[in-house]
Amino acid sequence: MAANSASPISPSDLDAIIKLMWGNEVKEDVFQRWKQGFRFSTDEPTALIQHEGGPCAVIAPVQAYIIKSLISDKKRKSPNWNEVESECVGKLLIRALCEILGQAYDGNRFVLVQMSDSILDEETTKTPPSPDAKKPKDHSYFHSQLRTLSFESPEEVEAYYLERIDMLGETFGVLLFLYSVLCTKGIEALHTEAIDPSETFIDSEFGYGSQSLINLMITGKAVAHVWNYDQDICGLKLKGIQQQSQIGFLTLLEHLRYCEVGSFLKNPMNPVWVLGSETHLTVLFSFESRLVCAETPTEVAKRVFKSFDPEGRNFISADLLQDVLNMLDLVSEPEYVDIMRKKLDAENLGIILLSSFMEEFFPEENVHLPDTFTLYHYNGLLRSCPNNKVVYQKGNAILLETHVLSVLENNGMLTCLQTKWPNIEVQWVGGSTPSLN
């Protein structure tokens, strides 16, 4: 059951949240960029709009989960799938918020953050404003008004939001939800997963969300990396994604070799991906279910091999071959392993290359992807959309027979998509390639 009344966040918890979010100092210009509610486009009923750079770290994942619900609704698989009544749109938003909170849930309680009752009454009713209403709504004001409510079940959370849906669209709607995710997750768990105490969830200069925040919103885990599982780099354990995610993630930064996105994010359970550029997040999706699937034997083999290669050098010590074979349930008798070790390490260098291992045990498998399919792209920033209208942009994709990687600096979209589909080409309806920024 929910608590009888809202209670203030303890000073120590509030200080910890502020430091984790903003650092030692909350810069007002950065805070102002995040001061917006969840509002939908007048040109696309189910597409959220974003006013300034920064809150895409919350808005894009929420949008991805809204789209996930649209895709899973079989009734929507029609030419008019994006025509949704306003009442249903609100329910889609709340369902998305509840899914994200559910992934962050620590098994103890759901903690929702709201403004004080008096402030809520002023913003949602026609009662005369109190003296507090005249105060500037800066970060100090915001943090002084925060209260929490505890719930035991997702059904109670959903009911709470349904009764106060207007609150989500108000001035601090995005931040209140983000703080609810943090409080539901728990400060201790956030520090354990994020590890690096020097990294804030929001960049103090530009206001962008960190990878830990993005991962928290997509997967419920505030880890800082996008590879599968954990990696040991020079004795330092760096945490990654532990299982196949509901929503995927692709980034232009992988093409630039700043990171390597693992199969758990590249191949999510639903054909919806958050796309990352250097400065912004958008969403790509499709109704083609064959674009995602359970891990193939080849993907499993690569993942297991790389678990023995924590430094990402694409080779392992020859002495580890038996362990790899054993984990993959392949023949691992000592005599057989000795034969394969000599074959795979013919020059007796003491190492086995990933490429040689895959060619021997997992020759190219047939992956039944469609040759052509339809993609849609969402960008919530008005200034980044054609005619300043936030709408889903449609593209007709084809997988070519050969891999032809794009090196065009002005086609970041194609470059980003090729980190998952190296042989993809897309013709966007209207002739204009959507912006990742």
Integer Cα distance of 259 and 249 in angstroms: 12
How many other β-carbons are positioned within 10 Å of the β-carbon of residue 204? 13
In one-letter notation, the amino acid at residue 195 is: I
Neighbours of 107 (CB within 10 A): 5
230 to 100, 158, 237, 269: CA distances (angstroms): 23, 34, 7, 21
User: C-alpha 246: how far from its chain's center?
Assistant: 9
Helix crossing, 173-185 with 86-104: angle to 10°? Answer: 30
Q: Which residues are catalytic?
A: 56, 280
Phi, psi of 391 (to 5 degrees): -140, 160
Q: Name the packing angle between helices 334-344 and 354-361 (round to 10°).
A: 120
Residue type, 252: L
Q: Which helix (H) or strand (E) holds 353?
A: strand 351-353
Grouping H, G, I as helix, E, B as strand and the rest as coil, residue 248 is strand
- Cα separation of 328 and 331, whole Å? 9
Q: Give the three-class secondary structure for 140.
A: helix
Tokens of 52: 């300034």
Report in angstroms the alpha-carbon separations of 133 from 125, 148, 287, 312: 13, 20, 46, 55
**CB 422 within 8 Å of CB 403:** yes
Copy the structure tokens of residue 176: 């209140």
